[in-house]
């Protein structure tokens, strides 16, 4: 009886030793296959690799499949997956900067170079920390061929710096110039037609006008505008403008350029334009006026469009009438 008890004790002890010596698999990360054998253990699914120090890790310098499968990158120093290790890993316009392993809003233009979804190779960081094609401040570097940046859409336009003359439609101050060159005397200004509630031509565009305080306002741009902030954000100022209750910039420019309306009908002229006989020119686009200062200068004498009258028709006065 004593021998049997002793034998049973030996069997029990041996069984215990076998249990203790058997490698134990660690829990995985919810269904992910277990990883490599690492010393006496099998690496769990969320740390599937065994490094040189016999530690279970997510990735190594030579093996980062666990990270790439999850659209992450390997931080080699910690051997863990992270959203980014430098700015190049952050390709979203709204988060182009790597901040301690997390992609965050940009803080400078260099972080935006090559960001996905933008047209330019070299891009800009706007005031909200979002990467855009350009900003008015960076257009010299970010827009090709000296073109300008739209301050609302933050995209490069086809208009070059300083290319637009007085009363030409614009979207930014830098588009306005003189004789085809940039000029600090001119800005892109919102304008209206007939009433102060009727923005013309739309809520994103304006027209190039000369700053009134700089002096030298010339007909037909001799009417001082109310204070207005420019489309590029210059503080409110007054400008050498036109009588916006009666005319629009396109109609004024049509008269200056002797645009004709061969059908003899106002519809052949720009918004606010009238088709009238102007001086010796028949069927020419002109516009309504309240004084000769709103019309062309009479240089030389007898310049068509330099008068303001009705030509005896009894209708509204117009330049050239």
DSSP 203-266: SS-EEEEEEGGG----TTS-EEPPPB--TT-PPPB-EEE--TTT--HHHHHHHHTT-B-TT-SG
- Identify whether residues 227 and 256 lie together within a single domain: no
CA atoms within 13 A on the CB side of 33: 5
Residue keyed to tokens 């076998």: 18
pLDDT at 19 > cutoff 70: no
Q: Is residue 23 part of a domain?
A: no
Mean pLDDT of the chain: 88
- Ranges 23-27, 157-161, 268-272, 279-283: which has the least confidence: 23-27
* Strand partners for 281: 278
Q: Is residue 156 part of a domain?
A: yes
Instruction: Indicate the pLDDT class of residue 313, thresholds 50, 70 and 90.
Output: low
pLDDT for residue 214: 87
pLDDT in tens, 191-217: 999 999 999 999 999 999 999 998 889
Residues 6+ apart with CB under 8 A from 231: 151, 170, 171, 172, 173, 187, 188, 189, 190, 204, 205, 206
176: phi then psi, degrees, rounded to nearest 5: -90, 135
Pairing of strands 97-99, 37-38: unpaired
240: phi then psi, degrees, rounded to nearest 5: -80, 105
Q: Is residue 26 part of a domain?
A: no
* Gap between the Cα atoms of 254 and 220, Å rounded: 12
- Identify whether residues 224 and 294 lie together within a single domain: no
pLDDT in tens, 222-257: 999 999 999 999 999 999 999 999 999 999 999 999
pLDDT at 3 > cutoff 70: no
Please, where are the H alpha helices in 63-127?
65-68
Q: Is residue 230 part of a domain?
A: yes
Please give the average per-residue pLDDT across 74-90, as a whole number: 95
Backbone dihedral region of 114: left (phi > 0), alpha (psi from -120 to 50 degrees) or beta? left
Q: Tally the domains of the chain.
A: 3
Backbone dihedral region of 27: left (phi > 0), alpha (psi from -120 to 50 degrees) or beta? beta
- Ranges 10-19, 67-76, 111-120, 273-282: which has the least confidence: 10-19
- The domain containing residue 280 runs over which residues? 249-319
- Ranges 44-48, 126-130, 181-185, 315-319: which has the least confidence: 181-185
pLDDT for residue 33: 64
- Identify whether residues 161 and 234 lie together within a single domain: yes
DSSP state, residue 121:
S
Q: Is residue 300 part of a domain?
A: yes
Instruction: Indicate the pLDDT class of residue 314, thresholds 50, 70 and 90.
Output: low
In the chain, the percentage of residues whose pLDDT exceeds 70 is 89
Q: Indicate the residue among 241, 273, 301 that finishes a domain.
A: 241
Pairing of strands 24-25, 41-42: parallel
CA atoms within 13 A on the CB side of 178: 8
- Identify whether residues 308 and 282 lie together within a single domain: yes
pLDDT at 134 > cutoff 60: yes
58: phi then psi, degrees, rounded to nearest 5: -85, -30
Q: Is residue 235 part of a domain?
A: yes
Highest mean pLDDT among 9-18, 215-224, 266-275: 266-275
- Identify whether residues 223 and 258 lie together within a single domain: no
DSSP state, residue 34:
P
pLDDT at 18 > cutoff 60: no
Q: Is residue 8 part of a domain?
A: no
pLDDT for residue 133: 95
Q: Indicate the residue among 193, 208, 241 that finishes a domain.
A: 241
- Identify whether residues 237 and 254 lie together within a single domain: no
Q: Are 97 and 88 in contact (CB under 8 A)?
A: no
Token pair of 260 as six digits: 């004709």
Instruction: Indicate the pLDDT class of residue 12, thresholds 50, 70 and 90.
Output: very low
- Identify whether residues 162 and 229 lie together within a single domain: yes
Q: Indicate the residue among 175, 209, 241 that finishes a domain.
A: 241
* Gap between the Cα atoms of 70 and 66, Å rounded: 7
Q: Give the residue, 30 or 258, on which the prediction is more confident.
A: 258
Residue keyed to tokens 């800009």: 124
pLDDT at 23 > cutoff 70: no
pLDDT for residue 312: 67
Q: Is residue 161 part of a domain?
A: yes
Please give the average per-residue pLDDT across 287-304, as a whole number: 95
- Ranges 28-37, 91-100, 136-145, 256-265: which has the least confidence: 28-37
């Amino acid at each position: 009886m004593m021998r049997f008890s002793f034998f049973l004790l030996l069997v029990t002890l041996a069984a215990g030793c076998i249990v203790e010596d058997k490698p134990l698999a660690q829990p995985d990360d919810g269904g992910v296959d277990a990883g490599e054998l690492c010393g006496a253990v099998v690496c769990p699914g969320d740390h599937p690799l065994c490094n040189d120090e016999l530690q279970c890790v997510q990735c190594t310098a030579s093996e980062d499949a666990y990270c790439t499968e999850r659209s992450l990158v390997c931080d080699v120093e910690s051997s863990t997956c992270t959203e980014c290790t430098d700015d190049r890993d952050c390709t979203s316009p709204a988060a182009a900067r790597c901040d301690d392993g997390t992609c965050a809003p940009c803080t400078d233009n260099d972080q935006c170079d090559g960001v996905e979804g933008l047209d330019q190779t070299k891009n800009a960081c706007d005031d909200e920390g979002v990467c855009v094609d350009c900003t008015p401040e960076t257009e010299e570097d970010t827009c090709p061929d000296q073109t300008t940046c739209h301050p609302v859409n933050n995209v490069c336009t086809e208009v070059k710096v300083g290319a637009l003359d007085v009363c030409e439609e614009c979207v930014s101050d830098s588009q306005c110039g003189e004789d085809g060159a940039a000029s600090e005397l001119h800005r892109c200004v919102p304008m209206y037609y007939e009433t102060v509630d009727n923005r013309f031509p739309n809520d994103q565009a304006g027209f190039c006008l000369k700053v009134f305080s700089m002096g030298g306002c010339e007909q037909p741009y001799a009417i001082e505008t109310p204070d207005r902030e420019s489309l590029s954000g210059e503080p409110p100022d007054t400008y050498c403008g036109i009588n916006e209750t009666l005319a629009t910039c396109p109609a004024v420019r049509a008269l200056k350029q002797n645009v004709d309306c061969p059908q003899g009908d106002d519809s052949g002229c720009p918004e606010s334009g009238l088709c009238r006989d102007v001086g010796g020119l028949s069927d020419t686009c002109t516009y309504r006026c309240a004084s000769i200062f709103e019309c062309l200068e009479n240089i030389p004498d007898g310049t068509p469009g330099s008068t303001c009258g009705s030509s005896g028709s009894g209708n509204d006065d117009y330049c050239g009438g």
